[in-house]
């Protein structure tokens, strides 16, 4: 791994006055797991830090959030003592919704990420898209700097690896990810608590909505795309939250038919988020998501388009037909 970059970041931290830690918007287990592990690392060295997230944090993760952690408001960006911004699990700054805050400011930006579409926006870029998760990168970072990984840090990092590998089942699962997972358990990570927190928490009404969403699955024959959707009304009707639908996207990987899966999710603000998943090596869904201004990984990517849901579905399918006249396999363009 980039031992040299990891060491330079560590050296920079020793001289930082006030570090601001930022995950991507609507942070997942990986973005939060990495950020929380980093707070423990800074705590141990008495380095001053604050945390900022542009959106709410899902209550799912309260088990790994330190009790005394307070998230700063936007005003933190007016605090002149902040000299360093560390951004976690974020392919480009707009995904963390901080572009305008860092513009023309003398911050040292540190970019720790594993997205294939990462734009290297930092002064230091610890970016490895072959690794399962940002949390896996941070494990290497701590090892490279001989920083102790305590049990709480191990639980945070393992949360990230388990989130991004779909509990060690999806294509991000590598022998390294499994090996580091076992190392983290050895260091005291609470595997059972993570399983409980991430996978054993759904109310009945949430699963009822999962059922409705699955009943809408269709296969687009020409594209070989299996797709479904849900509206904001569906969620309201059953009082289901977005957190309760969190794992449904990864469940698309369970489908054997077609070349990729897509789910369209209508948000409270009327926008529609789309997510792609594929398990095939000859389909690059990051490319498809980029067409709609989104991004992500080769096998898991997302984007946002205007709603309402019916219009979004028509628009997205039409665009995909134009983009991929021969279907989703675009071999000649793939690196």
Pairing relation of β-strands 19-23 and 84-88?
A: parallel
CA–CA separation, 180 and 176 (whole Å)? 6
DSSP code for 276:
E
Residue span binding Mn ion (CB under 5 A) among the ranges 42-50, 160-168, 190-198, 252-260: 160-168
89 binds Mn ion (CB under 5 A): yes
Among 262, 164, 283, 279, residue whose Cα is nearest residue 217: 262
CB atoms under 10 Å from CB of 303, counted, come to 22
Report which residue's Cβ sits closest to Mn ion. 30
- Please report how close the Cβ of residue 165 comes to Mn ion at its closest, in angstroms: 10
Q: Which stretch binds Mn ion (CB under 5 A): 35-43, 157-165, 190-198, 215-223?
A: 157-165
Whats the size of the chain, residue-wise? 335
Question: Which residue, chain included where needed, has tokens 């790994």?
Answer: 64
Return the range that interacts with Mn ion (CB under 5 A); candidates 96-104, 143-151, 162-170, 187-195.
Answer: 162-170
Dist CA 30 CA 331 (whole Å): 30
Cβ proximity to Mn ion: between 134 and 190 the closer is 134
Q: Which is nearer to Mn ion, 161 or 309 (CB)?
A: 161
Q: How far is the CB of 194 from Mn ion (least distance, A)?
A: 15
Judged by CB under 5 A, does residue 30 bind Mn ion? yes
64 with 35: CB under 8 angstroms? no
Residue whose C-alpha is closest to residue 225's, from 316, 149, 158:
316
Query: Which x/- pattern, by CB under 5 A, does the window 254-293 give for Mn ion?
Result: ----------------------------------------
Find the shortest distance in angstroms from Cβ 30 to Mn ion.
Answer: 3
Nearest to 95 by CA among 293, 285, 255: 293
Site residues for Mn ion, 171-230, by CB under 5 A, read none
Distance, in Å, from the CA atom of 307 to the CA atom of 182, rounded to the nearest integer, reads 43
- Our CB check for Mn ion shows the closer of 89 and 244 to be 89
Mention every residue, 6+ apart, whose C-beta is less than 8 A from residue 34: 23, 88, 89, 112, 133, 134, 135, 137, 138, 156, 157, 160
Q: Which is nearer to Mn ion, 51 or 134 (CB)?
A: 134
Q: How far is the CB of 172 from Mn ion (least distance, A)?
A: 8
CB of 105 to Mn ion, least distance (A): 26
- Is 92 near Mn ion (CB under 5 A)? no
Rounded least distance, CB 252 to Mn ion, Å: 17
Q: Which of 136, 164, 234, 266 binds Mn ion (CB under 5 A)?
A: 164
If the CB atoms of residues 111 and 133 are measured against Mn ion, the closer one turns out to be: 133
136 binds Mn ion (CB under 5 A): no
Q: How near is the Cβ of 85 to Mn ion at its closest, in Å?
A: 18
Distance between CA atoms of residues 282 and 279, nearest Å: 9
CB 140 within 8 A of CB 156: no
- The overall longest dimension of the chain from CA atoms, in Å, is 58
Q: Shortest Cβ distance from residue 23 to Mn ion (Å)?
A: 10
- The residues of the shown chain that bind Mn ion, judged by CB under 5 A, are 30, 89, 133-134, 164
């Amino acid at each position: 791994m980039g031992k040299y970059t990891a060491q330079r970041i560590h050296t920079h931290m020793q001289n930082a006055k006030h570090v601001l830690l930022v995950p991507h918007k609507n942070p997942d287990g990986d973005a939060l797991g990495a950020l929380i592990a980093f707070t423990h690392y800074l705590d141990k060295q008495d380095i001053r830090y604050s945390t900022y997230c542009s959106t709410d944090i899902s209550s799912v993760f309260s088990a790994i959030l330190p009790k005394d952690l307070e998230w700063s408001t936007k005003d933190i960006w007016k605090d002149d003592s902040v000299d360093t911004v560390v951004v976690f699990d974020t392919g480009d700054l707009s995904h963390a919704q901080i572009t305008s805050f860092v513009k023309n400011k003398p911050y040292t930006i540190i970019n720790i990420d594993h997205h294939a579409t990462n734009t290297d926006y930092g002064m230091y870029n610890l970016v490895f898209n072959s690794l399962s998760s940002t949390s896996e990168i941070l494990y290497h970072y701590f090892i490279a700097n001989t920083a102790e990984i305590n049990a709480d840090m191990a639980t945070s990092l393992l949360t990230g690896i388990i989130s991004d590998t779909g509990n060690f089942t999806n294509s991000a699962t590598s022998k390294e990810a499994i090996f580091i997972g076992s190392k983290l358990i050895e260091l005291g990570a609470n595997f059972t608590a993570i399983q409980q927190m991430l996978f054993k928490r759904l109310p009945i009404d949430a699963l009822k909505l999962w059922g409705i969403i699955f009943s809408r699955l269709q296969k687009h024959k020409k594209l070989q795309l299996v797709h479904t959707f849900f509206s904001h009304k569906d969620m309201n009707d059953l009082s289901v939250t977005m957190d309760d639908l969190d794992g449904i996207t990864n469940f698309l990987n369970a489908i054997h038919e077609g070349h990729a899966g897509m789910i369209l999710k209508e948000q409270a603000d009327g926008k529609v988020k789309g997510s792609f998943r594929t398990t095939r090596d000859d389909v690059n869904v990051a490319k498809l998501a980029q067409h709609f201004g989104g991004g992500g990984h080769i096998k898991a990517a997302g984007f946002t388009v205007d709603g309402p849901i019916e219009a979004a579905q028509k628009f997205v399918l039409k665009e995909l037909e134009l983009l991929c006249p021969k279907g989703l396999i675009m071999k000649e363009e793939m690196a």
